[in-house]
Amino acid sequence: MEKLAIKGGCPVRSGKIYYGRQWVDEDDVQAVTKVLRGDFLTCGPKVEEMERNLEKYIGAKHAVAVSNGTAALHCACIAAGVGSGDEVITTPITFAASANCALYCGARPVFADINPETYNIDPESIRAHITDKTKAVIAVDFTGQVVDVEKIRAICDEYHLVFIEDAAHSIATKYNGKQVGSLADITTFSFHPVKTITGGEGGACITNNDEYYKKLVLAHTHGITHDESLMEGAPHEGPWYYEEIALGYNYRITDFQAALIISQMTKLDKFVSRRKEIVKRYNEAFSKIPEIIVQKEIPESDTCRHLYIIRLDLDKLTCSRKEFFDAMAAENVQCQIHYVPVYWFPYYQRLGYEMGSCPNAEEVYKGIMSIPLYPKLTDEDVEDVIHAVKKVVENYRK
């Protein structure tokens, strides 16, 4: 048996690799600098071009580009009419923003449990948490795999809830052949550097609904309109005149970020196929290791994975997840954990959320670990990651 690096052995590789990394090349740099040398740094033509490109790529009616994925979620909640006293159902296995956006609106996030095999929100648990205060469901396509759209749609229709899809992980994923973004009432994307395409920061809201679209536009730019047909107050006095007709925020994206995202979108197909190749190789390797549980894929989801998660079967290992994680880091494979259940955080605990309320989520959390997945990984890197996982498993096998 190979000696673990953490115990003084030789690491499987010399340079450290991380769970995620952006891909930015010379044409991205050119696209950004061109904007910087031009007239519009914000509110210019690149933002509109990005929106039209997203609409075309997804096959949806409206895209609104915003400053980040969290802003997109906040705007989605505003457009959905989420307000004080309402409840919004989401998953605890997500980034905190998926729940925080309900709090921004004065509503209460309610956590439904996950499916222990797909790790996505369980539609039956959504149903069990519906009250007469429930206004919306924020379903997260965790790791890039799409949620059970058909069942969630049916529940939302039955109870008149707005179906918001947090697709921060799942751009380019398809559900029964349809692009993510064309499925829910409002879909949100993030373009943070660890996500599939990036603008440094950036986000977008996608909808096919004209009413939601109008509200999304207002929400992300101060509730201010220049559109005369929407004005309701003082008479239109001149070309300077605009009105604030709702409370909004400054959640605009800059033109140079939009230019980067437009440039990244031209590489999206390439990113998708490389991510799929790596996932295929990982699945093949890890499905042969009894101590590792591979995430289940639903047949409806043609998934572009943002994260690759291995789940340790800790009953079959002599180490803790922390020891496994540290051993991987010593092999120069720096993993990450996605995510601590949101309601475990002190802020949520102070709001009165109970530990133990989503048992599947808490059980899954104990064993999960995100290993490197990004298109820049070489085949050699991928084999190093597999080698490291095998090496650590062998050393801690019961």
Ligand X SMILES: *Cc1c(COP(=O)(O)O)cnc(C)c1O
List interacting residues with ligand X (CB under 6 A): 68-70, 94-95, 97-98, 140, 166, 168-169, 190, 192, 203
Instruction: Report the C-alpha gap between 57 and 40 in whole angstroms.
Output: 25
CB of 160 to ligand X, least distance (A): 25
CB of 306 to ligand X, least distance (A): 8
CB of 195 to ligand X, least distance (A): 6
Task: Find out whether 163 and 153 touch, Cβ atoms under 8 Å.
Answer: yes
CB of 328 to ligand X, least distance (A): 22
Q: Which amino acid is at 368?
A: I
Instruction: Report the C-alpha gap between 188 and 211 in whole angstroms.
Output: 16
CB of 102 to ligand X, least distance (A): 13
Complex with ligand X: residue 190 or 395, whichever CB lies closer: 190
Complex with ligand X: residue 42 or 332, whichever CB lies closer: 42
CB of 317 to ligand X, least distance (A): 28
Task: Find out whether 304 and 196 touch, Cβ atoms under 8 Å.
Answer: yes
- Order of strands, sheet of 368-371, starting from the edge strand that comes earlier in the sequence: 292-294, 308-312, 368-371
Cα Rg of the chain (Å, integer)? 22
Complex with ligand X: residue 64 or 168, whichever CB lies closer: 168
Complex with ligand X: residue 370 or 395, whichever CB lies closer: 370
Q: Which amino acid is at 117?
A: E
What sections of the chain are H helices per DSSP? 26-36, 45-58, 69-79, 97-104, 123-128, 149-159, 210-219, 255-265, 268-286, 321-330, 346-350, 359-367, 379-396
Complex with ligand X: residue 76 or 327, whichever CB lies closer: 76
Complex with ligand X: residue 214 or 338, whichever CB lies closer: 338
Angle among Cα 374, 375, 378 to the nearest 5 degrees reads 100
Instruction: Report the C-alpha gap between 224 and 248 in whole angstroms.
Output: 7
Chain centroid, CA 81 distance in Å = 22
Angle among Cα 335, 1, 279 to the nearest 5 degrees reads 35
Complex with ligand X: residue 165 or 255, whichever CB lies closer: 165
Q: Closest-CB residue for ligand X?
A: 69
CB of 316 to ligand X, least distance (A): 30
Q: How many CB atoms lie within 10 A of CB 31?
A: 19
Strands 292-294 and 224-225: unpaired
Q: How many CB atoms lie within 10 A of CB 39?
A: 8
The tally of CA atoms less than 13 A away on the side-chain side of residue 135 is: 19
CB of 74 to ligand X, least distance (A): 10
Complex with ligand X: residue 208 or 257, whichever CB lies closer: 257
CB of 224 to ligand X, least distance (A): 23
Complex with ligand X: residue 197 or 279, whichever CB lies closer: 197
